[in-house]
Amino acid sequence: MLGKLTKFELVKKWKSSKFLLLGYVLIQAVILFVLRVFIWNDEISRGFNLDGVSVSAGGSVSASFGDSVSAGNGVSASFVLLTVLFFMLSLVIGAYPFVESIYRYERDLSGRQAYLELMIPAVGWKKVLSKLIATMVSLVICGTLSVFSMFMYFTINSNFRYVMDLIRYLGELIVKEGPEVALMILFMLFGFASTYMTIFFCISVAKSFTHKNTVAVPIGIFVFILILSLLGLITTRLSGFPIVNYNIGTISFTLSSTLLDIAVFFATLAGTSWLMEKKIEH
């Protein structure tokens, strides 16, 4: 059932977002085309060139840019405007899953389709987990799209050789520090999943009181702030009991805070499932 629910959630997301995603790709492609064909010149290219890319023994990449961009030589106002627009759209698409998932979750609990959602004979945690998985998939897709857009921007506006050099260095870094990079990505994704789960929990608490958004939204925000404050307090107390300290890349972690993060994730998942099954009415 979890597979079927996840597929349904993914289809819902695709159906509601496909035109936005396709529109985004089209607009970004047009901006890049205009930049390259009508505005781009050698000065801009030189400005983006990486004067030096190096990989240190620790694996960190360092790069320095040319002088042209900082000097502003040959960079027209239209180039700056289109660049700002391009990056703003990239940020919007990167943040889109966050807004969409909150809206979709709220609608699933109290919108007109709530009849269908709540009538599906599946245990609460499967419904919640399927929504979380679909949200994470959408986050990865939109995040990748956003990063890829930026990569295309640099590829098109700078010297292709330098971009290839950077890719090669990053590739080498991933090969060299593979497990550490994978662990970093895993930690980052878990952090996002845990944040979404906390938000879902707050929405569910609010919806178990009322479906009226004028009341439910403040309740949800209040619960969210309360949870964050509580977690902040517990984290501060736990810093005195690290159990084990460890590093991933340049970031330090303690086992106690990692265990707390895992506990919070499962507690919010269980709480949200319980609320969906026992408290939320339609």
Partner 1 sequence: MITLKADNITKNYFKKSALDGMSIQLEQGRVVGLLGPNGSGKTTFLKLATGLVRPTSGSITICGREIGYMSKELVALLPDSEFLYDWMTIKDAGSTYAAFFKDFNTKRYSELIDFMKLSFDMKFKSLSKGMKEKLALALTLSRDARLIILDEPLNGVDPVAREQILGAIVKCFNQESTILITSHLINEVESILDEAYFLKEGKIVLHGFTDALRSERNKSLDELYREVFAC
Selected binder of partner 1 within 36, 161, 237, 282 (CB under 8 A): 282
CB atoms within 10 A of CB 202: 24
12 to 31: interface string for partner 1, x by CB under 8 A: x--xx---------------
Q: Tell me if 276 sits within 8 A of 127, measured CB to CB.
A: yes
28 to 67: interface string for partner 1, x by CB under 8 A: ----------------------------------------
By beta-carbon proximity to partner 1, the closer residue of 5 and 35 is 5
| Burial class of residue 105 in the structure, from the number of CB atoms within 10 Å of its CB (0-12 exposed, 13-18 middle, 19+ buried) | buried
By beta-carbon proximity to partner 1, the closer residue of 7 and 176 is 7
113 binds partner 1 (CB under 8 A): yes
Q: Tell me if 47 sits within 8 A of 68, measured CB to CB.
A: yes
- Which stretches of the chain are assigned E, i.e. beta strand? 50-55, 61-65, 245-248, 251-254
214 binds partner 1 (CB under 8 A): no
168 binds partner 1 (CB under 8 A): no
Which window, 37-45, 46-54, 122-130, 181-189, contacts partner 1 (CB under 8 A)?
Answer: 122-130
Q: How many residues bind partner 1 (CB under 8 A)?
A: 23
Give the alpha-carbon dihedral of 116, 122, 124, 127, to 10 degrees. Answer: -60
By beta-carbon proximity to partner 1, the closer residue of 1 and 71 is 1
Q: Quick one: DSSP state of residue 243?
A: S
Place of tokens 């994730």: 265
By beta-carbon proximity to partner 1, the closer residue of 118 and 189 is 118
DSSP string, 23-75: HHHHHHHHHHHHIIIII--HHHHHHH-EEEEEE-TTS-EEEEE-SHHHHTTT-
Selected binder of partner 1 within 37, 77, 119, 175 (CB under 8 A): 119
User: What are the residues binding partner 1 (CB under 8 A)?
Assistant: 1, 4, 7-8, 12, 15-16, 112-116, 118-124, 277-278, 281-282
